[in-house]
Amino acid sequence: MNKVVVGAQWGDEGKAKITDLLAQDADLIIRYQGGCNAGHTVVAHNKTFKFHLIPSGILYKGKICFIGPGTVILPEYFEEEIKILIKDGIDVSGLKINPLASITMPYHTAIDGYSESTAQKGKIGTTKKGIGPTYTDKMARIGLKVQDLYSLDALSEKLDIILPLKNKILKEVYGLKTYTKEEIFSLCKKYADIFKPYVCFDWQKVLEDAKYTNKAVLFEGAQGVMLDIDYGTYPFVTSSNPIGGGAATGSGYGPIMIDEVIGVAKAYVTRVGEGPFVTELTDETGDKIREIGHEYGVTTGRPRRCGWFDAVTMKYAVLVGGLTSIALTKIDVFDEFDEIKVCTAYKDTRTGEIYTSYPTDVFIHKYLEPVYETFKGWKQDITAIKEYSKLPENTKKYLSRLEEFLEVPISIVSVGPDREQTIFKI
């Protein structure tokens, strides 16, 4: 069975924990979109590992881990991440980069930083890793791909087209540093050396072999459905497609290779950066969730905005994300709560209109208030429970109601950060 792991909210749902678990049974793991904007945490053998671009499956020996064509790579950050993993004793010999992946150049990070620092209204709150500008150039057909680094004639031809335009924009629009062809060449030489041990030029053969020998493929998503460039809370989104469909365009395999799409969702919602968030709690309940759930960004250290579970966006995520089941994480964070709320509809404070489907025009979200269903807490430590049947009755009632509302099964329940703290429900 080939599975996709998709974030079903605004990122940081615990995808890496689920990817790491499922990677045990996979032969090939492919990260299909995003870049080092991601911050993925895996806790195994009492050790915490943090990943940004490198697939979370790398912790198992003998697996092939691809950085797919749909990703963008910031070379210096990649180099640093590899160094840390090697220092931690991780065997990275299974890591491969698809030569079609895009490269983040210094001018991309400069433009991202500039846009974020000068924007007054409409600031996105990006991770400043150059993600948006790199994808912009890819779509404008003026980006550089990893394969360009190993073909100097082609690189030279491309730079003759790209650089005059890029320099004009850098200078006249942004007032930022421009680049000579020699400077870019020397950067590219450095990047070629960084990537060399990992670039897989015969990736077609590796993917074909895996396909025809029925190897298990795990597709690893970053970010989440509500940050998707097409379906998320646009423009407060990232610049790629974290949805299940992204695995079909960003991995090298088509949709026919996908059997299951597992949407990872927290039992509450968090968001980093700007943008609407109807169930956000700016009171002490929000603070309590943040402190118990340790909700601080892995990549930027920013405190995450916290709120109650939003079943309206989640139902939307089931549809557009193509989810076949849900992995619900962090329910242990509610162990001490008297009651737990779930938003099942939005009410328009101007007209009284009730929305049970997600309204995609985010500029009306400031007029929406959540309509909640309230559940009794279980007031018990559930972090050591290993079987679904052993969960407290109130936990099971809560999970059943979520399944009923979302019309999709919850396949995994996560009760702590460790690999072991997982209940496979089906």
CA torsion sign for 134, 220, 234, 38 is: negative
> SS3 of 368, please?
strand
**Catalytically annotated residue among 20, 27, 40, 202:** 40
Instruction: Say how far apart CA 31 and CA 69 lie, in whole Å.
Output: 9
* Residue 246 binding ligand GDP, by CB under 6 A: no
- Give the CA-trace dihedral at 117, 122, 126, 132, to 10 degrees: -100
Distance of closest approach, residue 140 Cβ to Mg ion, in angstroms: 28
Task: Output 276 or 377, the one with its CB closest to ligand IMO.
Answer: 276
* Residue 415 binding ligand GDP, by CB under 6 A: yes
- 271-310: which residues touch ligand IMO (CB under 6 A)? 272-273
Task: Output 236 or 398, the one with its CB closest to ligand IMO.
Answer: 236
The residue from 40, 96, 290, 341 that contacts ligand IMO (CB under 6 A) is 40
Q: Residue 417's binding partner, choosing from Mg ion, ligand IMO, ligand GDP, none, with beta-carbon cut-off 5 to 8 A by kind?
A: ligand GDP
Task: Output 77 or 179, the one with its CB closest to ligand GDP.
Answer: 77
* Residue 15 binding ligand GDP, by CB under 6 A: yes
* Residue 13 binding ligand GDP, by CB under 6 A: yes
Distance of closest approach, residue 390 Cβ to ligand GDP, in angstroms: 16
**With b meaning 16 or more CB within 10 Å and e meaning fewer, what string describes 147-159?**
bbbeeeeebeebb
Active site residue 12: yes
Q: Provide the mask over 313-352, with x wherever binding to ligand GDP is found by CB under 6 A and - wherever it is not.
A: ----------------xx-xx-------------------
Residue 79's φ and ψ, nearest 5 degrees, are -60, -45
Q: Residue 14's binding partner, choosing from ligand IMO, ligand GDP, Mg ion, none, with beta-carbon cut-off 5 to 8 A by kind?
A: ligand GDP
Closest CA to 222 of 26, 37, 2: 37
Task: Output 294 or 386, the one with its CB closest to ligand GDP.
Answer: 294
* Residue 52 binding ligand GDP, by CB under 6 A: no
Active site residue 338: no
Cα 280 → chain centroid? 20
Please report which helix (H) or strand (E) contains residue 65, including its range. Answer: strand 64-67
The residue from 21, 36, 222, 281 that contacts ligand IMO (CB under 6 A) is 222
- 283-302: which residues touch ligand GDP (CB under 6 A)? 294, 298
Instruction: Say how far apart CA 4 and CA 286 lie, in whole Å.
Output: 31
CA-to-CA dists, residue 49 to 87, 377, 416, angstroms: 12, 31, 15
- Based on DSSP, count helices (H) and strands (E) in the chain, helices before strands: 11, 18
Are 36 and 77 in contact, with CB atoms under 8 Å apart? Answer: yes
Q: Residue 425's binding partner, choosing from ligand IMO, ligand GDP, Mg ion, none, with beta-carbon cut-off 5 to 8 A by kind?
A: none
* Residue 39 binding ligand IMO, by CB under 6 A: yes
* Residue 40 binding ligand GDP, by CB under 6 A: yes
Please report which helix (H) or strand (E) contains residue 209, including its range. Answer: helix 203-212
- Give the CA-trace dihedral at 124, 128, 131, 132, to 10 degrees: 40
| Most distant pair of Cα atoms in the chain: their distance | 67
Instruction: Spell out the SS3 assignment of 273-316.
Output: CCCCCCCECCCHHHHHHHHHCCCECCCCCCECEEEEEEHHHHHH
Are 289 and 308 in contact, with CB atoms under 8 Å apart? Answer: no
| Binding interface with Mg ion (CB under 5 A) | 12, 39, 298
* Residue 2 binding ligand IMO, by CB under 6 A: no
The residue from 6, 16, 67, 408 that contacts ligand GDP (CB under 6 A) is 16
**Catalytically annotated residue among 12, 137, 310, 332:** 12
- Amino acid at site 360: T
Distance of closest approach, residue 213 Cβ to Mg ion, in angstroms: 33
Q: Give catalytic residue positions.
A: 12, 40
Query: Which residues make up the interface to ligand GDP (CB under 6 A)?
Result: 7, 11-17, 39-41, 43, 294, 298, 329-330, 332-333, 414-417
Query: Which residues make up the interface to ligand IMO (CB under 6 A)?
Result: 7, 10-12, 37-40, 124-127, 129, 131-132, 222-224, 227, 238-239, 272-273
